[in-house]
Amino acid sequence: MNYLKFKYHLKPILVKVSKSTPEAYLEYLEWLSSTLKDNIKVIYGEEDFSEMAQYERVRWLSNEKPPYSEFSIFDTRSLCQRGDIEIRRWLLEQSISITTHRYGNINAGPKPKVLGNLDQLFTA
């Protein structure tokens, strides 16, 4: 069986928006920031990006060109309306695999009798 588990990033995600960002995006980001609590920070307009190392990644929803940073990952894709795609951009995905025997249980199925030592083979 395979399960998917979603976890928060270790550091918060920075989201950069501008005046050209659609109102629907801003409403979504407001809902998302209330859901993810301290794991997302939305900034508007011109801000100082000198502290990029404190963020896991930067979601760039502005028309401006993102600055270069060797410490952060920039995601410049627009928001997607499919939740299964969009959730992977905000949370870490962890795949958990549980392996069971073909009978469904390791202790199930045929139990052949195995002799423990050689003396049992020669005494009859």
The predicted structure's pLDDT at residue 54: 83
Residue 121 has pLDDT above 50, yes or no: no
DSSP state of 9: -
Tell me the per-residue pLDDT of 30-72, one tens digit each, with 9 for 90 and over. Answer: 888 888 888 888 888 766 666 777 888 888 888 888 877 777 7
Between 28 and 98, the more confident residue is: 28
- Tell me the three state secondary structure of residue 30: helix
95 — phi, psi (to 5°)?
A: -95, 130
Would you say how long the chain is, in residues?
Answer: 124
Three-state DSSP at 74 gives strand
- What is the share, in percent, of the chain residues with pLDDT greater than 90? 0
Query: Would you say residue 115 has pLDDT above 60?
Result: no
pLDDT band at 107 (very low <50, low <70, confident <90, very high): low
Residue 75 pLDDT grade (very low, low, confident, very high; cuts 50, 70, 90): confident
Nearest to 12 by CA among 40, 31, 51: 40
Place of tokens 């469904």: 104
